[in-house]
Chain A
Amino acid sequence: MEYDVQKLFEEPGLIQITTWARGVIQNKDARDVVFALANAASKEGKYVQAWENYVDLPDRVNVPVRAYARISPNPIESKYIYENENPDVVVLTEEGLVKGNNVLKGLKPGGVLIVNTKRDPEYILKFLSDTSNLGILGCVDATGVTGYIKTLSGAEGATDASGIGAGVGAVLAGAAAKAKEMVKLENLLGTVKNQDACRYGYENVKLMKVNEVGEVVSIGKIKQNKYDLEGLPFAGTVPSPKKENEGMVTGNWRTERPILTKELCNDCLICWLDCPDATIFKTEDGLIDFDLKYCKGCGICAAVCPTEAVTMVPELDFVD
């Protein structure tokens, strides 16, 4: 028996929505985007799914996490493929996620990217690597309209007692519905708590055409597990790292970057000792510097600095 598995597993009409967010502090808003869109589509008689990526759980403050929805005119056959392999729409709840995260991975030709930012699409585009499949880039200042909803309710698959779409998630769901035809606005408004925010997103998202894409001919690769059994560590045991653990690089967790004003630094070393990630090192000039490969941007160094020599600056202000 021999089939082309790519063709064998095609699901015509299936729309995949992926939201990227910062763990814990934006996790709920990420979940709200996918649940709001899936609920709205359900009202229209579509088949739907919505969930969080379990590889990203348990989530940690600032860690990039993903939430997903699927909307289809037909029963969803790939329902236990736990990651969206070929998203039609990608939504970022925070602009810094464009750095160090392959957010457009597997994007379907002509796909949409929505970013929560007050910056212009042109600026955001600079940070995206392979944009050949990107059809539309949309920017909307969701945080300018409303805040992130911080709650533990609704985590781990439980009921969200705080309701769906009260904050940033509502704006982004509205923006996504504008950029990609998948649900009617009125149905979306019928599912979210903050309808004004949702309408704002729909009406104010700045859309930019990136590529003209014709008919979609193929989707990405179907996941196939392949293992190098010889190269596998025995019983999963690995040698201890010496200086850094390169298996878990965390520089892409930052939404803000610490900056040292050297003239103000009195070399007290408090920040050095208080960094949970050991990313502050002593320099030859007797001061300190930051290891941005691993700095998560928690801001403790700035908070404990007695001379205000450390300030936190939005990560996307820097192009490096």
Chain B
Amino acid sequence: MLEQIKTIRHAPDEEYYVSGHRTCAGCGPALVYRLVAKAAGPNTIFLGPTGCMYVANTSYGCGPFAVPWLHTQITNAGGVASGVEAAYKAMMRKGKYTGERPHVIVMAGDGGATDIGLQALSGMLYRGHDVLFICYDNESYANTGIQTSPTTPWGAVTTFTPSGPAIPEGKRLWPKDNAQLVAHGHPELKYLATASLAFPLDLMNKVRKGLNAEGPAYLHIQAPCPKGWQFDSDKTIDMAKLAVDTGMFQLYEYENGKYTITYTPRKRKPVEEYIKLQGRFSHLKPEHIEKIQQFVDAKLKAIEVEVTAVSEAAPTD
């Protein structure tokens, strides 16, 4: 069992996602990877479906993974993870492998988890494989140069949803909520949570809970992307914090059929404070921003987070 990390001083010093990778300066997903690897420890196998965290990490025939790592297609991480897990189960039962049973972790982007890889994820969860499937959600197909994905917010500009005179708002669809989709309808799922880079210890502890669960677990982690969202590379953590403080991203756990909200902003900020800092939203007009506000309000109401958005500065904690 992996213990919960109480304070930053209890976080392990050891790195299993080491220095030396070609991710963006200020890359949110890279920080997610580092924290996940730190929390999971040496007894881990990573599966890396195609996406930024494959291409940028393993550029040029090398990589920063101090634990075993295998590439999978963007389509099939859930399937490959099922195979790895099933292999260890069989080999241990048959005495063909006598070492420790490794943790199996998938690190999929939003494409590999919520779009082209969703079928494989669902299959893996349905079959009950003991795998932690993590979606680092940077809200676009970023590796290919920022194209819309199902989690790209309404109104965001990507190279497939540019804003122009005929389509002023850019993206015209509301994002898919993969955590909700996954949570309901997979009876073998043992643990599900959302996490944010604004709360790194919470993130690491959710990773550990997911690994401790005997059966499949799913973590959906928002990972701000300086390239795609178009903010300065030092603002990654600020963006993550603003996302949860505005309600654009919500933090909770789902276990044994019950939701637990793990963070509620004391005073919710208007979404505009989040939106105005990102180049991908710079074309939006007040009425567009209002539409997003309404969407977020309704969403929070649905999960019973009754905090009204107010524009004064909330305390930082």
Contacts and interface: CB of A to CB of B under 8 A. Distances in A.
B60 to A, nearest CB: 6
- The A interface is mostly helix, strand or loop, or mixed, namely loop
Interface in B4-50: 8-9, 11, 13, 15, 17-28, 30-31, 34-35
Contacts of B197: 274
A201 interface: no
Given A240-B69, A299-B234, A158 B64 contact: no
A24 interface: yes
B109 interface: no
Interface in B142-201: 143-146, 157-159, 162, 164, 197, 200-201
Contact of A299 (B9, B63, B162, B232): B232
Nearest to A294: B19
Contacts of A158: 159
Contact of A297 (B13, B25, B235, B279): B25
B61 interface: yes
B314 interface: no
A298 B25 contact: yes
Contact of B68 (A62, A152, A240, A268): A240
Given A58-B55, A240-B69, A299-B26, A156 B145 contact: yes
Given A245-B63, A248-B59, A276-B34, A304 B237 contact: yes
Interface string B60-72: 1111111111000
A316 to B, nearest CB: 17
A293 interface: yes
B199 to A, nearest CB: 11
Given A61-B24, A247-B62, A152 B157 contact: yes
A247 B143 CA distance: 20
Contacts of B144: 58, 156
Give the residue among A238, A273, A277, A297 with the most B Cβ atoms within 10 A.
A277
B226 interface: yes
Contacts of B9: 269
Give the residue among B15, B34, B65, B227 with the most A Cβ atoms within 10 A.
B227
A155 B141 CA distance: 14
Contacts of B201: 273
A63 interface: yes
Contacts, number: 170
A152 B282 CA distance: 13
B20 A248 contact: yes
**For chain A, which range describes its interface: under 10, 10 to 19, 20 to 34, or 35 or more residues?**
35 or more
Given A60-B56, A152-B146, A245 B21 contact: yes
Interface in A156-195: 156, 158, 161
A308 to B, nearest CB: 13
- The B interface is mostly helix, strand or loop, or mixed, namely loop
A243 interface: yes
A262 interface: no
Contacts of B76: none
Contact of B233 (A58, A61, A244, A247): A61
Contact of A303 (B35, B68, B143, B234): B234
B30 A248 contact: no
Interface in B211-270: 226-228, 230, 232-238
B30 to A, nearest CB: 4
Given A155-B145, A246-B20, A278 B66 contact: no
Interface string A225-238: 00000000100101
26 contacts: A60-B23, A61-B26, A61-B27, A152-B157, A152-B159, A153-B159, A155-B145, A156-B144, A156-B159, A161-B164, A240-B63, A240-B67, A240-B68, A241-B64, A244-B20, A245-B20, A247-B60, A275-B34, A276-B28, A276-B236, A277-B19, A277-B21, A293-B19, A294-B20, A299-B25, A300-B237
Given A58-B55, A155-B146, 6 more contacts: A24-B24, A60-B23, A152-B230, A241-B66, A298-B234, A303-B235
